[in-house]
Structure 1
Amino acid sequence: MLLNNINLPSSVTIKEVGPRDGLQNENQFIQTEDKIQWINMLSETGLSYIEITSFVNPKWIPQLADALQVAKSINRYKNVTYAALVPNERGLEGALEANVDEVAVFMSASESHNLKNINKSINDTFPILKPVIQEALAAGKTVRGYVSTVFGCPYEGAVSADAVLTVADELFTLGIQELSLGDTIGVANPKQVEEVLLEVLSRFPKERLAMHFHNTRGTALANVLVALNLGISNFDSALGGLGGCPYAPGASGNLATDDLHYMLENMGIKTGINRDQLLNAALFIEGKIGKLLPSHTMQTERGKNCT
């Protein structure tokens, strides 16, 4: 298909998940005040959505043990949605105390990953999420659902579209307003993305879907292009390509916000994000994690003085 014939949206919402999905896999603890400052810098970039933390048990993700303090201490910008991942009712208590704007619940499309990630079967997960979703909605919050391992599982391999649809059906029935489809281990290819999305779009409107790609094998932006052509205009990403899943071996490297932003803006698709401020925020967190960010954009920035 010729690129000129692709039906691209005029604008896209980039949902920054770096402070949660990006940092959760970092071994070196990032100081609370640095997390707060980084989120404040992200708020100044023009991003309209930032997932700031996760209210999970600290023993599972020690990096985010300061969730409540972070959420209570950041500067709130009126045009930014501040979201947090919530696994259960106890986590919801913290999220509501912190007054986040959106609650995100999560589960997997594959049984093995769900057991490893949540310690419950898929069928046993729904009763846990139901009161979380209902209570969040009753509190005036929007609710988002994540489905992991949509395109492949580290334990089971291929995952059927029917398995994805079963989970998606139940989550929408429970009341979520948006569903993010995750390529948790970065195995998806453009043809597969098209096949799965056509199945999902036959059941649910494109406005209620988002894509969460990992760049583990270098296919994330190609997969974004396929999703764009099918009408998807919401994409999760982490600045600099931070992160991965602690329960999916080898799942390093979220799609980098800076790489996604570069591609979209140069294709004439508006994001509302200021590139200079975005790169400043990337440089800041790079200095705090103590290692170089893997995104192509950051590598290019470092190489500008090369001859």
Structure 2
Amino acid sequence: MTVRICEVGPRDGLQNEPEHLSPRQRAEFVNRLAGTGLTAVEVTSFVNPARVPRMSAAEEVCAGVESASGVTFAGLVLNERGYARLAATPLVEARVAFCVTETFNQRNQGRSVEQSLAEAGAIVTAAHADGRRASVTLAASFGCPFEGEVDPGRVLSIAERVAATGVDELVFADTIGVGVPRQVTHLLGGAAGFGIPLGLHLHNTRNTGYANAYAGLEAGVSVLDSSVAGIGGCPFAPDATGNIATEDLVYLLEREGVDTGVDLDALLSVSAWITDVLGRQLPGQLLRAGRFPRAQGVI
């Protein structure tokens, strides 16, 4: 069994952190991650820098990213303006995102869900015409910070319409970290007949992120988003804390016999680097606890 991991640390990880890294540091972060065996890295987002200052100078970051064999470099876009900016960079994948609830989508993107759905379809078409991959992430699929519980039937109805656009990948996001394995199984099972690869974007806000990743594994998920050292969150969702940590996820998958293609030691090195750059202890556990079994002679 294999699972594709998409590293979102340079985008979703940094966007909600108090530190403001320079474009040079952000590009270095991407380049270090690209050397770990990861096959997908989300480099940045093309959003209004006044609203998300940590993602300013996206084009400058992209210019500093070095080509890496076998690595897909992606960017997040929320609308067609964002895609136009991405299209002027070397990034080869557009990751479109919108919220499945009206209140959150209006606060996050200033659009109705219906408007965002139509725009997502247009971006998928444009990306394919440009020779790019396109994926769509449905934010707040497991719960909304403003409307509470989200009807899974609504999520699947939106997901089916997204699948009809010809998108390459559909990702269900637990944006505020409220989901549980039962919901993962339900959504992935309900979308299995759409005929496209399915993914999960998980946050560990309430300590269920790794259980949800395992449930996704059992349900046949194709891609798992994660952020090295567990950094990140959504600046427009109250109390949305970090993503599941990439190194912790890889450890779990490796111990389960799942092939990720990732060099865990190299990944831990990047985790240590970003911890040093940010200057404080980060949520990831493996960097502190260490690998198991340890190398012979190490206590």
Q: Shorter-chain TM-score category?
A: over 0.9
Secondary structure at 1:56 match in 2: coil
CA deviation profile, 1:30-67 (whole Å, cap 9, x unmatched): 12211111111101100000000001111111111121
Taking the aligned partners of 2:78 and 2:185, their CA distance within structure 1 comes to 30
CA deviation profile, 1:188-223 (whole Å, cap 9, x unmatched): 11122222322222x423x51001111111111111
User: Post-superposition shift, 1:127?
Assistant: 3.3
Taking the aligned partners of 1:126 and 1:220, their CA distance within structure 2 comes to 27
Which has the higher relative contact order, 1 or 2, with Cα contacts under 8 A spaced 6 or more apart?
1
Taking the aligned partners of 2:281 and 2:186, their CA distance within structure 1 comes to 35
Identify the residue that residue 252 of structure 1 maps to in structure 2.
241
User: Post-superposition shift, 1:119?
Assistant: 1.1
Identify the residue that residue 47 of structure 1 maps to in structure 2.
38
User: Post-superposition shift, 1:301?
Assistant: 4.2
Tell me which amino acid in the other structure corresponds to 2:177: G
| CA RMSD, Structure 1 to Structure 2 (Å) | 1.7
Structure 2: give runs of 5+ residues left out of the alignment: none
Instruction: For 1:106-121, list aligned pairs within 5 A.
Output: 106-121=97-112
CA deviation profile, 1:125-161 (whole Å, cap 9, x unmatched): 2333333222211100010101011111111111111
Identify the residue that residue 53 of structure 2 maps to in structure 1.
62
User: Post-superposition shift, 1:187?
Assistant: 0.8
Among 62, 86, 89, the alignment partner of 2:80 is 89
User: Do 1:259 and 1:296's aligned partners in 2 also have CA atoms closer than 8 Å?
Assistant: yes
Q: Does 1:243 align with 2:237?
A: no
Q: Does 1:197 align with 2:188?
A: yes
Identify the residue that residue 67 of structure 2 maps to in structure 1.
76
User: Do 1:112 and 1:155's aligned partners in 2 also have CA atoms closer than 8 Å?
Assistant: yes
Secondary structure at 1:125 match in 2: helix
Among 204, 208, 211, the alignment partner of 1:219 is 208
CA deviation profile, 1:226-261 (whole Å, cap 9, x unmatched): 111111131000001010111111110101101100
TM-score (ref. length: structure 1): 0.91
TM-score (ref. length: structure 2): 0.93
User: Do 1:145 and 1:180's aligned partners in 2 also have CA atoms closer than 8 Å?
Assistant: yes
Taking the aligned partners of 1:225 and 1:162, their CA distance within structure 2 comes to 23
User: Post-superposition shift, 1:284?
Assistant: 1.1
Secondary structure at 1:277 match in 2: helix
Identify the residue that residue 166 of structure 2 maps to in structure 1.
175
Moved over 6 A (4+): none
Taking the aligned partners of 2:240 and 2:84, their CA distance within structure 1 comes to 30
The share of aligned pairs that are identical, in percent, is 38
Identify the residue that residue 152 of structure 2 maps to in structure 1.
161
Bigger CA drift: 279-288 or 142-151? 279-288
How many residues are paired up?
293
User: Do 2:120 and 2:136's aligned partners in 1 also have CA atoms closer than 8 Å?
Assistant: no
Report the CA distance shift for 1:196/1:89 in structure 2 as closer, same or farther (over 3 A): closer
Tell me which amino acid in the other structure corresponds to 1:161: P
Identify the residue that residue 271 of structure 1 maps to in structure 2.
260
